[in-house]
Structure 1
Amino acid sequence: MITLNDYLYSGDTVLSILRKYAADLKKASLANHNSIDMVHCNFLLQQIDMLEHNDFLTSQSQRIRELYKLMAAEYPYLAFTFKGRIKSVIRTEGKFNGYIVTYIYNYYKKYKKYPSIAAIKQHLSCFRDLIAYRIVVSLPKCHVKPGGNREEIERDLLYQVANIIPEFLEERGFTVQVSELEGGRYSARLKESLRPYYRDYIENPDASGYQSLHLTLYDNLARCYIEVQLRTKEMDDYAEIGPANHIGYEKQQEMERTRRDEIPIGECLYFDEAYERSVRLHELELAKVDVNMFGASSNSVVNDGCGLYRGRLILPFEHLSRFQNDLID
């Protein structure tokens, strides 16, 4: 069985690794009549296309920048950052295989049989967050009036921004997509007409405590999906360097071991291969990886200049609120 790990010690560039991995998956697919490997191959080609061709990303980021300029004008006291990134190669590989493992496991638990190849392939068509933009807002304490609740003010501002994004971006070539979050609650601060499009993880935090607003859009000019995430600074800290990061990882590991115990080895080839690829990624010792523009002294101290382990940045914008001017009063 071919895994991404097999290509991470050659000193190649990320693009060379993805090309070789995709080519070998295609050969294996044809030799073994494994159509899921062919889907995997085509998924890798999609990643390569994003990493190779930057014209559409330039156009896209320029249109996203218009939202940044609007916020800078409308919310002069608010500090915020805009970051865009292409999901990292390792994380994308883990997510692709994780989708297979989760789907087959859930299907088996419900029906006591395994899904058809066609059903698995259909499920794998749902990737819509390979390109994501994150907006993080923070209201400096100097702009909070005595007795004001900073956290509540920030959340109110976050939802205000959320309420203007869909229409603003649709005027610039994007189409908002209906959310797949079913049965969730929504904040009263989010316009009712927009609730079908947002995944409100602020009102519906996951088991780790992760909170954020997610919106999926289709870029009609670039012909690809993007995800927009909105958080306060506290939410972002919790997700990136706080408990949500560690708890989420531990929970994922535990769930994958449970799924492996439930499905006997050898009964479903697609589950077995996806599970093994996921496990091998978790066991990767980053300090031993030899990929051009990547270095690590441990699994937590990483310098990544190629988007292997951390997402490749498309844009960074930072807006510092107005601390010293005559608008304070």
Structure 2
Amino acid sequence: MIKLNGYLYSGDTVIKILYKYMEDLKKSARQSHNPVDLMHSNFLLQMANLLEHNDFLTSQSQRLREFYKFMANEYPHLAFAFKGRIKSLIRAEAKFNGYVVEYISDYYNEYGTYPPLPELKDKLGCFRDLIAYRIVISMPKCHLKDGADIDKEEIRYLYEVANVLPEFLEERGFTAIVSGNPAGSAFSYLKESVSPYYKDYIANPSIYGYQSLHITFYDNCARCYIEVQLRTKGMDDFAEIGPANHLGYEKRQQDERARRDKIPVGECPYFDEAYERVVQLQHLELSRIDVNMFSAADNSLINDSCGLYRGRLILPYEHLSRFQNDLID
């Protein structure tokens, strides 16, 4: 079986690893007539294109910069940060195979059989967060009116920003994608015209307390999807260093993806291969990996300059807010 782990000890760059893994996976898929591995190979091609071709990323982030400039003019009393990342190769590989494991396992538990191949392939065509941006806002206390509740004020402004974002970006070559989620609760300040595009985890927090607004766009210039997350600083802190932090999220995903459940070994090759890849990735000793521009003292102390493990920063500029810099001129 072809798996990513076997390519991580050669001293190659991430791009070379991607192409070698992708080509070998495609060759194996043709020999074994495995359409899921062919989809897997095409998924890896998306990753390679993102890492290799930076011109469209610069164009994309500069168009998003226009929204930064809009915010700085409309809300000069707010502090805010724009961030961007490409999903790392290891995270993306785990997610693709994890989707295979989760979908087949859920389908088998419900129906006692395996999903039809067209349904499985359709499920694997929904990756829309390989590129993600985040807008984080904060109300400095020096601008807070006497008696005002800072959390309520920040949430109100966050929804204001969310309400204008879809139309603003659609004028610049993006198309907002309907989320498919049910409408938010009465608490939500989203306008009816934009509500269908958002996943509102503020009105409907996760069971772990995670709060954020998520919206997906299709970039018609770059021909790819992007996800935009909008948070207050309190929400961002809770998600990054609080109880809903990403390490905990990843650990829960690992546990979910590593479940064998009732599926017998050897009955579903798509499940068996994806399951083995997930388990192998979870047991990586990062300190032993030899990938150019990556090093790790252990599985916690990591210096990743190549986008192998952690999301790489893709914005060509740093943002704070108007009263903190003069970038607008």
TM-score normalised over the length of structure 1: 0.93
> 2:132: which partner in 1?
132
| Aligned equivalents of 1:186, 1:283: Cα separation in 2 | 44
> 1:326: which partner in 2?
none
1:306 aligns with 2:306: yes
| Amino acid aligned to 2:149 | N
| Amino acid aligned to 1:50 | L
| Aligned equivalents of 1:181, 1:287: Cα separation in 2 | 41
Task: For residue 133 of structure 2, give the secondary structure of its aligned residue in structure 1.
Answer: strand
Deviation string, structure 1 residues 99-128 (Cα, Å, up to 9, x no partner): 111111121122211012222111111111
Name the stretch that deviates more: 204-213 or 302-311.
Answer: 204-213
| Aligned equivalents of 2:54, 2:254: Cα separation in 1 | 35
> 1:19: which partner in 2?
19
Measure how far apart 1:146 and its partner are: 2.6
> 2:60: which partner in 1?
60
Query: 5+ unaligned residues in a row in structure 1: which ranges?
Result: 324-329
Do the aligned partners of residues 281 and 207 (structure 1) sit closer, same or farther apart at CA in structure 2, a change above 3 Å counting?
farther
Q: CA RMSD in A?
A: 1.7
| Amino acid aligned to 2:85 | R
| Aligned equivalents of 2:121, 2:128: Cα separation in 1 | 15
| Aligned equivalents of 1:237, 1:282: Cα separation in 2 | 26
CA contact (8 A) 1:26 1:37 kept: yes
Measure how far apart 1:186 and its partner are: 6.2
| Amino acid aligned to 2:252 | K
Task: For residue 295 of structure 2, give the secondary structure of its aligned residue in structure 1.
Answer: strand
| Amino acid aligned to 2:154 | E
Measure how far apart 1:151 and its partner are: 1.0
Name the stretch that deviates more: 111-120 or 160-169.
Answer: 111-120
> 1:88: which partner in 2?
88
> 2:320: which partner in 1?
319
> 2:327: which partner in 1?
none
| Aligned equivalents of 2:221, 2:187: Cα separation in 1 | 32
Task: For residue 175 of structure 1, give the secondary structure of its aligned residue in structure 2.
Answer: strand
> 2:254: which partner in 1?
253
Report matched runs for 1:173-188 at 5 Å. 173-182=173-182, 185=185, 187-188=187-188
Report matched runs for 1:34-183 at 5 Å. 34-182=34-182
> 1:30: which partner in 2?
30
Task: For residue 15 of structure 2, give the secondary structure of its aligned residue in structure 1.
Answer: helix
Name the stretch that deviates more: 228-237 or 12-21.
Answer: 228-237
| Amino acid aligned to 2:249 | G
CA contact (8 A) 1:208 1:247 kept: no
> 1:232: which partner in 2?
232
CA contact (8 A) 2:184 2:195 kept: no
> 1:327: which partner in 2?
none
Task: For residue 310 of structure 1, give the secondary structure of its aligned residue in structure 2.
Answer: coil
| Aligned equivalents of 1:48, 1:283: Cα separation in 2 | 24
Do the aligned partners of residues 242 and 313 (structure 1) sit closer, same or farther apart at CA in structure 2, a change above 3 Å counting?
same
Deviation string, structure 1 residues 153-211 (Cα, Å, up to 9, x no partner): 11111111000100000111111110032465364311011111000111222222221
Name the stretch that deviates more: 302-311 or 102-111.
Answer: 102-111
> 2:266: which partner in 1?
266
TM-score normalised over the length of structure 2: 0.93
| Amino acid aligned to 1:107 | Y
Task: For residue 193 of structure 2, give the secondary structure of its aligned residue in structure 1.
Answer: helix
CA contact (8 A) 1:208 1:248 kept: no
| Aligned equivalents of 1:135, 1:175: Cα separation in 2 | 18
CA contact (8 A) 2:86 2:313 kept: yes
| Aligned equivalents of 1:118, 1:61: Cα separation in 2 | 35
Identity of aligned residues (%): 63
| Aligned equivalents of 1:126, 1:186: Cα separation in 2 | 29
Aligned length: 323
> 1:202: which partner in 2?
202
Name the stretch that deviates more: 297-306 or 63-72.
Answer: 297-306
CA contact (8 A) 1:80 1:136 kept: yes
Name the stretch that deviates more: 205-214 or 73-82.
Answer: 205-214
Query: 5+ unaligned residues in a row in structure 2: which ranges?
Result: 325-329
Name the stretch that deviates more: 41-50 or 201-210.
Answer: 201-210
| Aligned equivalents of 2:55, 2:304: Cα separation in 1 | 23
> 1:280: which partner in 2?
280
| Aligned equivalents of 2:52, 2:251: Cα separation in 1 | 34
> 1:6: which partner in 2?
6
CA contact (8 A) 1:134 1:230 kept: yes
| Aligned equivalents of 2:288, 2:147: Cα separation in 1 | 53
Do the aligned partners of residues 204 and 188 (structure 1) sit closer, same or farther apart at CA in structure 2, a change above 3 Å counting?
closer
Task: For residue 260 of structure 1, give the secondary structure of its aligned residue in structure 2.
Answer: coil
CA contact (8 A) 2:199 2:213 kept: yes
| Amino acid aligned to 2:5 | N
